[in-house]
Structure 1
């Protein structure tokens, strides 16, 4: 699963590619390492307009995962979209796209060494296909119950570049404006086929060994 990614593109580029009409994210500095439960930029629909905002990374966990726990750490990656837990959030009102410039998988062959992937050495902007919801839960005991806008992104089987490092999955990546539009606005029957790997040869290894992209 992908539990670490980076975003170094500016807000103007994110808004332009995702066609966001409003920016509610505040100042976004470069983020070379985004980890679970952190706040990160997301583009989603709100009050009838497409908004660049920030949300907390980690969707609500299914009930079975919370048995015996005092907190809900959240689910960062969503694979089984046929599950009843996820189906309630598959409508357009809960779809989002998550901007990134590189993502990390931990190489099981090399003592879980971080390996970074991107669309190119220059870290072009792309987007994960995501889901979001507003949810009340206890994320940390010291904070008690909080209500947060939460997000996670879809995964699928890995392509040729990712499979040797992480043979189970890779994020669902959207590289074209048309794909972003489809994910955010189309009926589910049209949008869900986007849950597929990038074509082989689309990704490059851009860094290794660091928990933040050194670009």
Structure 2
């Protein structure tokens, strides 16, 4: 499960990390993104060059009756993403990367749930494996682009808090994942594994992050001892 994350890297850092410079109007930094929000993503372009796009977080398949469907599809399990009706078509040809600077998970304690922030040790951007879809509102004709984050079994570090975590891909894996013509399911499925725990760092943060309306840089700071 991944139900909250942050996107705050500067545009130039994202363009450099993903090797894409298309003049996209990047959104402001976000430190507490909740389901139903608009999220930044990178999808394969029609001419072979990836492009940035804004997605509604919560995938809405083209056949869904209404956009409420997205409330239950913020995550797709790596083990079943190729089979589930909600995700299998997107897995074949509408894959994307979702930039992130870290994600939150909660651990049950005697004093209640304690949130933790997990990010890469070198503080570079993460790239969550994701899927995107296009859905048209039958009443208004509005076209909604939406997406989901693929999650897998937690590695040894994250497992201390939660049993699932986002699939985090490395730059060498971006081309294969974003290529809409790549149909080799075993190869794609092989990318959906937990990242090496040695690449991550984790620390407790303020419980204010539990309220989606709280949105400021202090949310990612380590909780003061005592």
Normalising TM by the smaller chain, what interval? 0.7 to 0.9
Number of corresponding residues: 203
Superposed displacement of residue 195, structure 1: 0.8
Q: Matched residues in 2 for 1:76 and 1:178: separation?
A: 26
TM-score (norm 1): 0.82
Relative distance call for 1:87 and 1:115 in structure 2 (3 A) is same
2:46 maps to 47
For 2:8 and 2:56, the matched residues in 1 are separated by 18
Structure 2 Cα separation of the partners of residues 200 and 214 of structure 1: 19
Aligned counterparts, 1:35-114, within 5 A:
35-48=34-47, 49-60=49-60, 71-74=68-71, 75-79=73-77, 80-81=80-81, 82-92=83-93, 94-109=94-109, 111-114=112-115
Q: Deviation of residue 144 (structure 1)? A: 7.7
Which structure 2 residues correspond to residues 110-125 of structure 1 after superposition, within 5 A? 111-120=112-121, 123-125=123-125
**Quick check: 1:96–1:129 contact (8 Å CA) kept in 2?**
yes
Counterparts of 2:40 and 2:20 in 1: how far apart (Å)?
12
Instruction: Note if contact 1:62-1:85 (Cα within 8 Å) is conserved in structure 2.
Output: no
Contact 2:60–2:67 at 8 Å: present in 1 too? no
SS of 1:124's partner is coil
Change in 2 beyond 3 A, CA 1:91/1:71: closer
In the alignment, structure 1 residue 171 sits paired with structure 2 residue 170: no
Q: Which runs of 5+ in 1 are unaligned?
A: none
- What is the Cα deviation at residue 123 of structure 1? 2.9
Q: Which residue of 2 aligns with 1:214?
A: 220
RMSD over aligned Cα, in angstroms?
Answer: 2.8
TM-score of the superposed pair, with normalisation by structure 2: 0.78
Structure 1 residues 161, 177: closer, same or farther in 2, change over 3 A? same
Q: Summarize the Cα distance change of 1:137–1:112 in structure 2 as closer, same or farther, 3 Å threshold.
A: farther
